[in-house]
Amino acid sequence: MFLRFVVESLRRAPKRKAMTVAAVAMGSAVATAMLGVMLDVGDKVNRELRSVGANLIVTPKTLASPVEIAGVRAVPVGGAAYIPEDQIPKIKSIFWQLNITGFAPSLTSPSDVPVEGVWFHRRYRTPDGREQQTGIRDLSPAWQIEGRWIDDSDGAPVFDCMAGAAAARKLGLIVGSTAHLIGHDFIVAGILHSGGDEDDRVLVRLSVLQDLLHRPGQVESLQVGAITKPEDAFARKDPKRMSNTELERWNCTNYVSSIAHQINEVLPMAVARPVWRIADSEGRVLSRISGLMLLIALAALVSSGITVWSVMATTVLERRGEIAIMQATGAGDWLIASLFGAEVVMEGLAGGIAGALVGVELAAWVGRSVFRAGIGTPPILIPLVIVVAVLVALLGAAQPLQRSLAVPPALVLREGI
């Protein structure tokens, strides 16, 4: 009897039922798309933000807190003011090695126009024996270049350089001209526009500058780009005061501070510090994107709930005579609510399934159109959205049905409704 009532009820007012299913499906589709993008886009956005440069700087311990006496930097006795170049690949052995998108060691020769030796695009061997490439070109792909990038391959010209825009203006350099630096002539391969300190420098190969300064295998700093999670209150806790469980959780979360800590462990002669200006900006951008998408998803579900409320209010208004008769013949409120609730559940289930499937395709379209990347919707999201869709439909129908059940059946029947 219960099933028969539900089936007969579903056959009534098909347009109204279709409106409910469509509203739930639309809300579910938008929620699935936004939540799918929000859950998958974090790393993609972080990779895009990596184009602005490094978010970690590694320096020798002796230079981490420089002391100057009469304008001269004092280095503690027994401390090496450099990082061994052959130790740098060890950063690819930390737990979060796959999150390190690139790194670039450097050595600087101070002068009116600083000359900096860097890896431009260098092949290296990881601690586990794999060959990879990295360098300043991979770390800062957003730089605008006039001319060409320098290649670190063995067959490329050795005495060439890239001048920052400000340094080029100061020295009167153009692409193809000659720059006299540290007693040697360098051919200007390109002019770079970084919008940062690099605009005031001239970049040459690290190996060339090491030879000219008689500092073979020595590096003064290391820029590292890593995909990180925005810092929260737990991330800012002092690891020295954490319990073993907390420390394990902290190390197993890709905070910029935990990655810096792991770099310090594999490079004990150095100190890794986050570039907070960049790290904080990334956290704010990711938080705002996630917040916006979550807000859109909630708005879509609330809109669906309001539509269901409107349709159910009209339905119970038309059928309150039928409800009054069931009450008068002994049907309890819970039974009547179950009958109408089963109808709403069926509508919510149909709308949720249709909306979730459409939402998966919508998320993929948003990924291709906005982020130029594929979006993989987590499988658990589809059943979760379907359950939420059913709950939204029930919540939307609850208030009109409750008000209808609260009206005394005698009053309704006396009015002849």
Q: Assign residue 415 a region (left: φ > 0; alpha: ψ between -120 and 50; beta: otherwise).
A: alpha
pLDDT band for position 43 (50/70/90)?
low
Range of lowest pLDDT (8-22, 65-79, 293-307): 65-79
pLDDT at residue 353 in the model:
92
Which of the listed ranges 45-54, 291-300, 314-323 does the model predict with the highest average pLDDT?
291-300
Q: Side chain identity at 354, as an amino acid letter?
A: A
pLDDT at residue 410 in the model:
73
Q: Which residues contact 58 (CB under 8 A, 6 or more apart)?
A: 83, 91, 221, 222, 223, 224, 263, 267, 270, 271, 272, 273
Count Cβ atoms within 10 A of the Cβ of residue 206 and give its class: 0-12 exposed, 13-18 middle, 19 or more buried: buried
Identify the DSSP state of 71.
T
Q: What is the Cα–Cα distance from 3 to 391, expressed in whole angstroms?
A: 21
Identify the DSSP state of 379.
T
Over residues 233-264, the pLDDT tens digits come to 788 788 888 888 888 888 888 888 899 999 99
Which of the listed ranges 26-40, 58-72, 270-284, 322-336 does the model predict with the highest average pLDDT?
26-40
Over residues 118-129, the pLDDT tens digits come to 999 888 988 888
pLDDT band for position 156 (50/70/90)?
low
Q: Side chain identity at 364, as an amino acid letter?
A: A
Over residues 326-358, the pLDDT tens digits come to 777 777 777 778 878 888 888 889 999 999 999
pLDDT at residue 7 in the model:
62
* Residue, of 346 and 91, whose pLDDT is higher: 91
pLDDT band for position 320 (50/70/90)?
confident
Count Cβ atoms within 10 A of the Cβ of residue 210 and give its class: 0-12 exposed, 13-18 middle, 19 or more buried: middle
Q: 10 Å Cβ neighbour count for 79?
A: 12
pLDDT at residue 204 in the model:
93
Q: What is the Cα–Cα distance from 324 to 413, expressed in whole angstroms?
A: 7
Res. 416: pLDDT tops 70: no
Average pLDDT of span 187-191: 93
Average pLDDT of span 359-375: 79
Nearest to 122 by CA among 7, 228, 207: 207
Entry field: residues in the chain: 417
pLDDT at residue 71 in the model:
47
